[in-house]
C-alpha cells in the first residue's frame, strides 16, 4: 500500500453542505491515526469547506483532484 492509498472511501456525490463535512468527520474517526481517507464530492462549496474543516480539526488535507463530471477527490490523513 502506498502512503497516499486510502484505507476508506466516502462517496458524497449528490450531497450538499453540511452533509459532506459530517460524513468526513465520521469517516476520519473510523480509521487509525496516520491512515488516509478518500472523499468524493460534487458540491461546489466542498473545496473551501474541506480546506477549512482540515485546518480547524488538525487533520491533513493531502490533495484535491478534479475528476470528470465536476467531481472532486479529496485525500485526508488522520493526524490525531
Residue 23: inside a domain? yes
Q: Which of 17, 31, 40, 71 is catalytic?
A: 17
Q: Is 36 exposed, middle or buried (0-12, 13-18, 19+ CB in 10 A)?
A: buried
Residue 2: inside a domain? no
4 — pLDDT class (breaks 50, 70, 90): confident
Report the number of distinct structural domains present in the chain.
Answer: 1
**Whole-number pLDDT of residue 2:** 60
**Whole-number pLDDT of residue 61:** 98
Instruction: Assess whether 12 carries a catalytic annotation.
Output: no
**Whole-number pLDDT of residue 9:** 97
In the sheet with 36-41, reading across from the earlier edge strand, the strands are 8-11, 36-41, 72-77, 60-66
pLDDT in tens, 11-69: 999 999 899 999 999 999 999 999 999 999 999 999 999 999 999 999 999 999 999 89
Name the residue among 72, 32, 71 with its Cα closest to residue 50. Answer: 72
Q: What is the CATH number of the domain that holds 19?
A: 3.30.110.40
**Whole-number pLDDT of residue 65:** 96
The distance of Cα 70 from the centroid of its chain, to the nearest Å, equals 16
Range of the domain at 35: 8-77
80: CB partners within 8 A, 6+ apart: 33, 58, 59
Amino acid at each position: 500500500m502506498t502512503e497516499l492509498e486510502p484505507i476508506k472511501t466516502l462517496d458524497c456525490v449528490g450531497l450538499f453542505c453540511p452533509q459532506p463535512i459530517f460524513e468526513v468527520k465520521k469517516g476520519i474517526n473510523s480509521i487509525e491515526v496516520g491512515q488516509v481517507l478518500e472523499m468524493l464530492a460534487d458540491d461546489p462549496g466542498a473545496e473551501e469547506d474541506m480546506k477549512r474543516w482540515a485546518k480547524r480539526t488538525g487533520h491533513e488535507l493531502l490533495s484535491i483532484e478534479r475528476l470528470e463530471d465536476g467531481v472532486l477527490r479529496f485525500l485526508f490523513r488522520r493526524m490525531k
